[in-house]
Amino acid sequence: MPLRPGRCYRRISTPPYTKLEYIGSIPPVTIPKFDLGNSRGDFAYTLRLVVERGGQIRQNALEAARQIANKYLASKLGEQNYFMRICVYPHHILRENKMLAMAGADRLQEGMRLAFGTPVGRAARVVAGQTVILVRVNGSGLEHAKEALRRASSKLPLPCKLVVESGGSVSEAAR
């Protein structure tokens, strides 16, 4: 079974690595927009994608979830009929001790000596119950927003649930 690339970074096992002034070659944040749609609209429903357990979400997974949810909502509802926000920011810098896996590689690397690693990406650290994506819509777009968040949750490495809020009531729909 091939190893999935995000599997190594899903769980929190080290202290956060966020001091950018000490890091050379900082990986850029690849999420271009955190707020999408109509930010000034008055919407009746708020839908939140909430993680069920803590962990790390790599920035490429956040970007994939943002793209698929935004594309679905824009095609079904139009740009002015929803508001979507990515509520987490990838502060944590991921490091990797790159190893060569070919013939003669034993003379080109140090193994576990000085194995601190070089920066390879970013991740957002989340705790159980934290909102990852927030969508606001009116009643006519409620089912489309649920479907968009269901599609977005399939791109995230942690189990998620959908929380729907209208005025003062809250209902939950598990993934």
Q: What CATH number is given to the structural domain containing 92?
A: 3.90.1170.10
**What is the rounded CA–CA span in Å between residue 12 and residue 92?**
11
Nearest in space to 120 (alpha carbons), one of 10, 47, 45, 25: 25
Instruction: Residue 51: give the domain boundaries.
Output: 5-174
Write the pLDDT tens digit of every residue in 21-65: 888 888 999 999 999 999 998 999 999 999 999 999 999 999 999
Task: Please give the model's pTM, rounded to 2 decimal places.
Answer: 0.84
3-state secondary structure of 9: helix
**Number of domains comprising the chain:** 1
> Whole-number mean pLDDT of the chain?
86
Residue carrying the six token digits 């599997």:
7
Are 107 and 86 in contact, with CB atoms under 8 Å apart?
no
Are 42 and 83 in contact, with CB atoms under 8 Å apart?
no
